[in-house]
Chain A
Amino acid sequence: MVNPILLIAVSLGVAFLLPVVDRLGRGVSRTVHLLTLAFGMLVSFRWLAALAAGAQPARIITGGWPPPLGINLFFGPLEAALAALAFTTALVAALYLAHHEQVPTVKSLVIQLVLVVGAVGLIMTRDLFNTFVFLEITGIGTYAILSFGRERESLESGFKYMALGSVASIFILLGVAFLYKLTGTLNLDDMAGRLPAVAVAGVGTVLLLLLVGLMAELKLFPLNGPAIDIYDGGEPGVMALLVGTTVNAVLFTFFKVLSLYRGDAWALAVSTVGMVTFVVANLLAIRQTRVRRMLGYSSSAQLGLLVFLLPFVRGEVVLMSAMALLLLNHTLAKAGLLWLAGLHGGERLEDWRGAFPDSVALRVSLGALILAMVGMPPFPGFWGKWQALVGLARSDAWPWIVPLLVGSLLELVYYFGWYRHILEPAGEGSRGAGRAAFAEVAGILLFAGTALALGVRMTAGIWGGPASPALLLGLVGLVLLLVRAIPVKAGAAVSLAATAWILVRMFLSGGGCPLWNVQGFFVVVTLGGALVISLAGLGLPVERRSFWGLFLILVGSILGLITSPSLLGFFVGWELMTWSSYLLVSQGRKGTRPGFLYMLFSGAAGFLILGGLMVAEGAGVDAIGGLVQLGGGAALAAWTLVAAGFAVKVASLGVHIWAPDAYAESPDLFTPFLSGVISKIPIFGLAVVAARIAAPSLHTVAGALEPVHVLAWVGGLTAFGMTLLAVFQEDAKRLLAYSSVGQVGYIVAALAIMSPLGWTAGLWHVVNHLLFKGLLFLAVAGVVYRTGTRRFADMGGLITRMPVSFVSVLIGIIALSGVPPLSGFAGKWLLYEALMERGWLLLTAALMFASVIAFLYCFRLIHSIFLGQLKPEHRELREAPPALLAAQVLLMAGIMVLSVWPQALLDPLQRLVGATFGAAGLELEGALTLTTSFGYFNAVAIMTLVAVLFVVLLAFLLFAGPRSKKIRQLDIVYAAEVPPPPEELHYAWAFFKPYERAFAPILRSAATAFWKGVGEVTGALGEAGRRIYTGDAQTYMLYAMLFILVLAGLGLAG
């Protein structure tokens, strides 16, 4: 094996020789430069492989003097990994910089090598003074490469960075010298052994000097001003190089030096500074308008997170792997994003509108790297954050989880604030890659590809191997996303085939009906919904090419979420679902803003759930099945957090403000899935995760107030409030959106009853709502597709042009309103009985009242669209595309089957609920009658009765009623001009205005105003806070000196 010291020696030697080699031509010197880096990369990777296979780490003694007298180097697995990362980054950075330097010179090549030498030296050395020397080498390299920028901004930021760096190096040198004086050694390991025996006053002050010096090098708050400036002013390619080399090396140095700091006070100080940096830098970033500056804040935050974890590493092994993953993730994602920023050139967020319309690979890479950056699965950062949280949860450090999650949420705000612009449709002014050479994008593709490949591997590990249907669907989706040659219609066909295949395989495989357990039940719901959407997709075109790829990733992630037995597997699927559905929502014509809001609330929901899961992990539970073991306070805390997360995700009253726009502005083909399936996944979570925690212990906890009763009321009030708001909508999709949220509220209330009958009612409604809301949204999608509008005022009389869609809506609203003879009746009937059985009579009354209000909007829907007068411009309208109608027919058939033969679903639900509660709660008498404690009900008899009544009435109207004369809209003669705006004259305009005057202000304004206020206050904090970075070099140096005084004042100097 090659001696690792050659990594330093060869690079340094070549750096000195390069100016000479350059005489032979720039091509030669560039080649030598690249070969040197490739050599370093190869050697470090070979060492990494050997060390992983069990080889001994290399201990290198320099100058013939063994330590502690001589300087020694150490090359173990961590060192090899960091060196490999440094050389790899430097290699691809060199390829990129070759195209991006304003004045390509050999000096730049030399400095690039010096930076790598400095980094690798820092990584390997075990000598404190040697550490100082390598710190200075990296420092000088950094200042020099920053000075190559021709622009004033680059020079200014470089100077400020250098000024603060010089102050830091004075602190460090003083610290090192005094430590030598106190311990008589410069060897790090030797010193760590001797230091505890030193009982001289002032040891603390010395250690503090060294600590603050390193903290300034690490750009921790409040010393991060110049570092953020160089992101803003420097060449992005240079910053990418620094992220992969210097930054990681300094962090590792900090890790090594921390062995000198014994005692809880130091650990607390380091962790606090790290966490404050993480939260504050993320907070201050949310009002950034310049992309590169925002990336600078983000880097500072990420380093803060890593520094925060450092003191805990020694206690918890899992944190070591967490740190490694987080560091790798940050390097890959940040370097990749910086190269993309350099390639794109857009400075402000708005400049990124529809970025890279000409390259699928770059667009996907950009998305992947942003998702990696915020810690979304499947990327390494997600696993790192999870492990970090688990490590904290299992130690005394669990309170730190709260700020960690808050900071992570703030991180979502600005990254998705940026992504929002990227997702806008490409238009004039959208910048692309142009004629970028392959060498320029090689690093981006390599880093994004590595992050993705690692992520897929880890996801496969947790979801049961590469052959699991969930992963397969996701991979097919990824292929659809990446291969531009596949036509959009083919995407729908692939999606149809894939979902149908899995569904068929599930029903054919042994082990009985998949509906017999909760997991199987929700898998069937998901795949059924996906099947219908895919079928409809054959008729209804989508605007964005990436729709089907993302759709399959979404379906795959939901399958993974449902079928995974572990908390981690569940949460992986949950977050995958969050971002893939976010991207689909944002594909709507005006979808990026609602998508952003959707992402924020979903992200918050995710972090609440994560918090709950961490309470469980802290109690040693990592399987969903083990949640029943939780007891006492842990159970209450876990249940509250998890249930709150699910309540946000179902858009409960108060946090519902994201839902209407997200539903309304999503692509018309996606809204039915959003409403029918995705809104049911939190229900799955309540049934599987929350109920398991609640089942054994929460009935008795908390004395007078039953937690599940609170949840039931949350569901009930949501049902009530949303139904009320639905009535006043002037937009068909918004009306259905409010209705959806309201209907899911019923399901939440039903599950919260925690009785066999309640669950039967809730799960029945899950299927029923999927059927009728899918039907209504698809019918409306057809209408919108043909008319080009969603507003009631622009429609009317369409019954003659779109009769099948009319029938769809008619069946849909009957099933929705819960009147006999259709399937909605059975669901409502079961729900009311379950509520009364539990004794929650007031809630029963509220829900019954809400059902009555639902009639109002049901009427509105069919009346405004299909009845009344046909608009002149709609005379020639055609019926919706056949495939879309076929999907509707499928859903109508489902409703009919459930209506006539409810046992088809109730029978499996009986078994399912019976297995959960040990009792079924209702009886199926013979084949047709179902009986509960309050009464019985025969679907066939009711259906027959209603059919007979209908025929009699129809016959009466047709043959015995008065004749009518057809009047067209234009038969009306206006006496004068039409007063503007004309839609106010439409018969459907402001139909329920009087009720709105009575109710709406109470409901609408309070929630919206509250969340708007939260956003504004947070934004104002970010805006005010970032003013501490005055831009003045001397202010930044003053902060460094004051920071020492503050830490000393807190008692660290001693």
Chain B
Amino acid sequence: MMAGNELYVGTAIGLIVIGFVAVLTRRNLLKIVLGFSIADTGVNLLIVSLGWLPGRTAPIVDDPSMFSDRAALAVNAARVVDPVPQALVLTAIVIGVGVTALMLAYVIRLYAVGGTLDVRQFGRLKW
């Protein structure tokens, strides 16, 4: 691991563990969805912190003229953190929102047919 990001990595892993524990132990469907959200956040934080380099800034090119100047681009590249994980996380966040929305839609429908939010009541199909 990169020196200096232990705090972020530790927090991220903590969030994932909290999320998984919620997912596995809470009986309320909404809390399970929350658990997934927490775990997702942990994963995203973990990815961002993997690409983090101490003392560097966000990988954003704020001056369009820089694109025509390779030297300036190289200088800029040495000042920013790895942009790929950030791009990944951006995508992952969008996907996460979609999945959470869909999960909540499921919870609404399940409540409508079952009249309960207890996950144990939705295990009719088995064996």
Contact = CB atoms under 8 A, between A and B. Distances in A.
Nearest to B123: A1031
Contact of B127 (A147, A153, A233, A1029): A1029
B66 interface: no
A186 B82 CA distance: 13
Interface size class of A (residues with CB under 8 A): 35 or more
A147 B126 contact: no
Contacts of A176: 88
Interface string B77-118: 000000011001001100100110011011101100110000
B18 interface: no
Contacts of B25: 1034
A129 B107 CA distance: 29
Nearest to A233: B125
Contact of B124 (A153, A170, A180, A293): A153
Contact of B109 (A147, A169, A177, A1029): A147
A925 interface: no
Contacts of A163: 23, 32, 36
A136 B123 contact: no
Nearest to B95: A136
Interface residues of B, number: 40
A1030 B119 CA distance: 13
A642 to B, nearest CB: 39
A173 interface: yes
Interface string A113-138: 00000000000000001000100100
A1027 B85 CA distance: 42
B99 A140 contact: yes
B53 interface: no
A180 B85 contact: yes
Contacts of B24: 1034, 1037-1038, 1041
Nearest to A1027: B127
A246 interface: no
A869 interface: no
B122 A159 contact: yes
Nearest to B109: A155
A143 B102 contact: yes
Nearest to A228: B125
Given A136-B99, A1034-B23, A178 B50 contact: yes
Contacts of B46: 174, 177
Contacts of B107: 159
Contacts of A160: 122
A205 interface: no
Contacts of A178: 50
A140 B126 CA distance: 23
Contacts of B85: 177, 180-181
Given A174-B46, A1027-B127, A1032-B123, A129 B23 contact: no
Interface string B12-42: 0000100010011100010010001001100
A1031 B114 contact: no
B114 A152 contact: yes
Given A156-B124, A177-B47, A178-B50, A1037 B23 contact: yes
Interface string A1021-1051: 0000011011111100110010000000000
A152 B113 contact: yes
A229 interface: yes
A166 B36 contact: yes
B99 A1031 contact: no
A1033 B114 CA distance: 15
Given A156-B122, A177-B47, A1037-B24, A170 B110 contact: no
B92 to A, nearest CB: 6
B39 to A, nearest CB: 6
Nearest to A167: B23
A170 B45 CA distance: 13
Given A156-B110, A177-B85, A1030 B122 contact: no
Given A140-B102, A166-B99, A1037-B23, A152 B127 contact: no
Which of B119, B123, B124 has its CB near the most chain A CB atoms (within 10 A)?
B123
B2 to A, nearest CB: 9
Contacts of B122: 152, 155-156, 159-160, 1033
A1041 B21 CA distance: 11
Contacts of B43: 170, 173-174, 177
A1034 B102 contact: no
A155 B40 CA distance: 23
A405 interface: no
A232 interface: yes
A229 B106 contact: no
Contacts of B103: 159, 162, 166
A386 B41 CA distance: 49
Nearest to B113: A152
Given A166-B99, A186-B84, A1037-B24, A155 B125 contact: no
A686 B24 CA distance: 59
Contacts of A1029: 126-127
B120 interface: yes
Given A163-B32, A174-B46, A155 B123 contact: no
Interface in A369-393: none
Given A147-B109, A155-B109, A1037-B24, A1030 B126 contact: yes
A900 B13 CA distance: 94
A155 B39 contact: no
Contacts of A186: 84
A139 B102 CA distance: 11
A1041 B20 CA distance: 9
A133 B109 contact: no
A144 interface: yes
Contact of A144 (B20, B50, B102, B120): B102
A15 to B, nearest CB: 14
A179 to B, nearest CB: 11
Nearest to A146: B106
A233 B106 CA distance: 15
A666 to B, nearest CB: 36
A155 B127 CA distance: 17
Contact of B84 (A167, A180, A229): A180
A152 B124 CA distance: 9
Contacts of B51: 181
A158 interface: yes
B127 A1033 contact: no
A143 B106 contact: yes
Contacts of B95: 133, 136, 140
Contacts of A162: 99, 102-103, 106
A167 B32 CA distance: 12
A181 B113 contact: no
Nearest to B84: A180
Given A133-B95, A152-B113, A152-B114, A229 B125 contact: yes
Contacts of B106: 143, 147, 155, 158-159, 162
Contacts of A143: 99, 102, 106
Contacts of B124: 152-153, 156, 1031
30 contacts: A139-B99, A140-B98, A140-B102, A144-B102, A152-B113, A152-B114, A152-B124, A153-B125, A155-B109, A155-B110, A156-B124, A157-B125, A162-B102, A170-B39, A174-B46, A176-B88, A177-B47, A180-B84, A181-B50, A232-B125, A293-B125, A1026-B127, A1027-B127, A1030-B126, A1031-B123, A1032-B120, A1033-B122, A1034-B23, A1041-B20, A1041-B24
Interface of A: 129, 133, 136, 139-140, 143-144, 147, 152-153, 155-160, 162-163, 166-167, 169-170, 173-174, 176-178, 180-181, 186, 229, 232-233, 293, 1026-1027, 1029-1034, 1037-1038, 1041
CB-CB nearest 10 A-B residue pairs: A1031-B126, A1031-B123, A177-B47, A156-B122, A229-B125, A152-B113, A1026-B127, A1032-B123, A136-B95, A159-B106
Given A174-B46, A1033-B123, 11 more contacts: A136-B98, A162-B103, A163-B23, A170-B16, A173-B43, A177-B47, A180-B85, A1026-B127, A1030-B123, A1037-B24, A1041-B20
